[in-house]
Structure formats: C-alpha cells, structure tokens
Amino acid sequence: MSALIIFGLLVALMLTGMPISISLGLTVLTFLFTMTEVPIDTVALKLFTGIEKFEIMAIPFFILAGNFLTHGGVARRMINFATSMVGHWHGGLGLAGVIACALFAAVSGSSPATVVAIGSVILPAMVAQGFPKQFGAGVITTSGALGILIPPSIVMVMYSVATSGMIATGPDGKQVDSASVGELFMAGVIPGLMLAGFLGFTTWYRARKFDYPRLTKAPFRARWAAFREAVWGLMLIVVVIGGIYTGIFTPTEAAAMSAVYAFVVAVFVYKDMKLRDVPKVLLSSANMSAMLLYIITNAVLFSFLLAHENIPQALGEWMVNAGLSWWVFLIIVNIVLLAAGNFMEPSSIVLIMAPILFPVAVRLGIDPVHFGIMIVVNMEVGMCHPPVGLNLYVASGITKMGITELTVAVWPWLLTMLIFLVLVTYVPWISLAFPAFLGM
C-alpha cells in the first residue's frame, strides 16, 4: 500500500508538468510528514549527507571537461583523424562520424555533448559530399549515445551514487557491495567498443547498399599529420582510463585532472578558445552541474523513503517467493526502463529506478556491475527515441529536422542498439570480462 501511494503521488505530480526533481522532493515530504513519524531534522540531515559522497564531485568536473573540449576544437581534429583512416570505405564520412563519436565519448562523459561536438562539424560535410541528411542524422544521433557507455560516463557515476551504501543480500544470504565508479568505467570499455562496431557495421552496410559516396584513400603522410593534430585530445583517454587503471587517480581525481587537461589543451595548445571565453564555459558547466545535483539531492531523499518503508527488500522477497527467475526479471527491467525512457531523461530514471531494482537484482544473483552496464545501455536507447530522447532534440537543433523525421531516420541504428541491448543483458561476460582481467 505504501508503494502504491508513493508512486501514485509521484506520477500525479509529474503529470502536472512539474519538473521531476521537484516531484520527487514533494512526494517524499508529503508522505513522510503525513504518514510516518520521521522527524524533520532527520530529513534535513539526509538531504545534506546524501550528496557529500566523494564520487559526486566527478560529475561537475566531467561536465567542465566536456564543455572545454566541445568549444576547443578537439572534436574537429578527431573527425579529421577518423576520416583519414576510414574515409575511403563505403559511407566513409558516416563511419568517421561513428569513430569520432567513440573517441569523443572517451573524453567527455556526456551524450548530448558528443552529438553537438561531432554532429555540428561532420553533418554539414556529409550533406556537402552528397549523403542524404537523414543518413547523417541517424548516424550521429545514435553514435552520440556512446557518450554515456564508453568511460568516463556521468550516468555510470549516477548509478554508483544511487546504489552506494545500500544493503543488498545475494541468493546465498551474504551481503553484496554495490559497484564502484572505477569498476563501472572499466566494465564499459568492451560494451562501448562493441556497440561502436555494431553501429559502424550498420552504417557501412547501408552506405554500400545505397552506394553512398566514398573519399579517396588518404596517404600515410596525411594520416600521420591528422594523428599528430588529434593526439592532444586523444591523450585525455590515457589520462582518465590509464590513471584509474594504474591506481594513480580515483575516478573523481581523474575527472578533475581531465578538466584541467582539457582547459590547457583548448586554451594554450590548440588555442581555439580565448581566455575571455573561459568564464562563459565555467558558468554553463555550473548551471548544468547545479541542475544535476538538485536532481540527485531529491533522488537521495526518495531512496531514503523507499528504504524506510522497506519497499525494495519486500519486492525482492516477493519475486523470489513467486519463483521469478533472473532472466525473466531482466526482461521486465528492460521493458520498464525502455518505457521510462519515453517520459524521463536518463539521470532521473537511474536515480529513481536503481535503488528499487538493485536489491532485487542482487537477490536473484545478478552481478551489480553487469546490472549497471545493462541500465546504461537502456539509457542509451532511451536517448534516441521519442518523445523525450535528448539526442533527438539536440540533433534536431543541428539538422533543422523535425522529431518525426529524425525518428524515421534513426530506426536502422536504433534496431541495432536494441539487438545489442539483448546481447548485453544475457551475456554478462561482455560487461565483466575486462574488470575481471584487471582484478577488480
């Protein structure tokens, strides 16, 4: 009954058009003050202690690094490098877009930022070369989603924050820890590269089928020159992933280092950004960070309410007693998350759903790292389909295409992503092999 009241109230508030963060906060306060005896000072304490996790500091730093890179010419140099390597294949510029998105994803952590940075440069070039606008829009909209799967990833940080400190018991009765940010980052490497390969194959196949343009093969000297130009941006991948892997940095420290490195590269190395532009980038990053932190704060309160009412544990017990197997549970989770993607953006979905689903998944013997990667892939799909797919709206602003027209344009790649989602869901090795290899 408590669960019905809580979620009924949340849905009712969201249907009024109220922002999700405020809906979460009002739901919690209304229920706590009318149906429980929880003192108000406990709520205030939880409000502040819930966001003093060290991992949360990674979010504003990754946002800042992404903004410096977006405005600093790094994307253009990555595109030139990718084009020199694969431009002579069928649909060369489209393939270069996929590779450039994967490279930029490895330094930004944000999907919309990847779409903006790569799409604004490569889409006009594709149209000028003779590609249909729909083809280019489909490639960039879906490949941009790699921004939250290839580490670093803001959504992975959200999942780790949402589940950290939760008491989850495995099928053998032993307590299971939640996934750390470092584990999730390493777990995202193989799935991210695989999905980039899947999207690249779809791009190549359709370009070959419809005989889209190809570039002449770049000589080795041109490829080397393009690599030398792009190497400063590519080195950020080494800074973040290499620093975490070798233990030099924690993920939060790696985020701070990436922000400083991106600033130096954009302002002093490439010199595409002037010092007078820095305050504008800082303000934009602060605005986005404040918005996400406000959502996190209210989501922490929501998680506290669910734990206080024992809802996740009761749901887990009910599913186990009902004889529900792990693979059926994962089907249900995928359907629920894909449905939620129709109405909410990824950060809100993860912060609301992860605390509910995580204890149940652990109770059924599902690895927390594997479960986290599966959720992230679901969020990728949600960003590419209507009505609230963030990537669709970002791509619409770049291409001047309507959402309906974009939805038709992305369907071959969206179908590819759904096939990959099934693969990630039922082949845990894809997510767990690399962390296991590293001894995590």
Q: How confident is the model at residue 72 (pLDDT cuts 50, 70, 90)?
A: low
Measured distance CA(97)–CA(324) in Å, rounded: 42
Instruction: Report the pLDDT value the prediction gives residue 255, as an integer from 0 to 100.
Output: 86
For the chain, give the number of residues: 440
Who's near 312: CB < 8 A, 6+ residues apart?
Answer: 166, 306, 355, 356, 357, 358, 359, 360
Q: Is residue 250 part of a domain?
A: yes
Q: Is the pLDDT score of 424 beyond 90?
A: yes
Average pLDDT over residues 187-212: 92
Q: Is residue 310 part of a domain?
A: yes
What average pLDDT does the chain have?
84
3-class state of residue 169 by DSSP: strand
Measured distance CA(291)–CA(285) in Å, rounded: 10
Instruction: Report the pLDDT value the prediction gives residue 365, as an integer from 0 to 100.
Output: 86
Q: Is residue 33 part of a domain?
A: no
Tens-digit pLDDT profile for residues 229-255: 888 888 888 888 888 778 788 888 888
Instruction: Report the pLDDT value the prediction gives residue 202, as an integer from 0 to 100.
Output: 94
Say if residues 280 and 6 touch (Cβ distance below 8 Å): no
Q: Is residue 402 part of a domain?
A: yes
Look at 32-46, 129-143, 149-163, 417-431 and tell me which has the smallest mean pLDDT.
32-46
Measured distance CA(167)–CA(359) in Å, rounded: 7
Per the structure, how many domains does the chain have?
Answer: 1
Structure tokens of 119? 């799409």
Average pLDDT over residues 29-51: 75
Nearest to 198 by CA among 102, 282, 330: 102
Q: How confident is the model at residue 388 (pLDDT cuts 50, 70, 90)?
A: low
Instruction: Report the pLDDT value the prediction gives residue 21, as an integer from 0 to 100.
Output: 76
Say if residues 253 and 28 touch (Cβ distance below 8 Å): no
Nearest to 241 by CA among 285, 199, 188, 198: 188
Average pLDDT over residues 420-431: 93
Q: How confident is the model at residue 198 (pLDDT cuts 50, 70, 90)?
A: very high
Q: How confident is the model at residue 27 (pLDDT cuts 50, 70, 90)?
A: confident
Q: Is residue 207 part of a domain?
A: yes
Look at 1-10, 61-70, 82-91 and tell me which has the smallest mean pLDDT.
1-10
228: containing domain: 54-437
Q: How confident is the model at residue 95 (pLDDT cuts 50, 70, 90)?
A: very high
- Angstrom distances, CA of residue 426 to CA of 95, 112, 264: 28, 28, 43
Average pLDDT over residues 384-413: 82
Q: Is residue 240 part of a domain?
A: yes
Average pLDDT over residues 183-204: 93
Q: Which stretch of DSSP H or E encloses residue 176?
A: strand 175-176
CA terminus-to-terminus distance, the chain: 40
The whole-model pTM stands at: 0.86
3-class state of residue 168 by DSSP: strand
Q: Is residue 237 part of a domain?
A: yes
Q: Is residue 18 part of a domain?
A: no
Structure tokens of 299? 């989501």
Average pLDDT over residues 256-261: 89
Q: Is the pLDDT score of 50 beyond 70?
A: no
Structure tokens of 408? 């038709």
Question: Hey, how many other C-beta atoms are within 10 angstroms of the C-beta on 12?
Answer: 12
Measured distance CA(269)–CA(282) in Å, rounded: 19
3-class state of residue 271 by DSSP: coil
Q: Is the pLDDT score of 306 beyond 80?
A: no
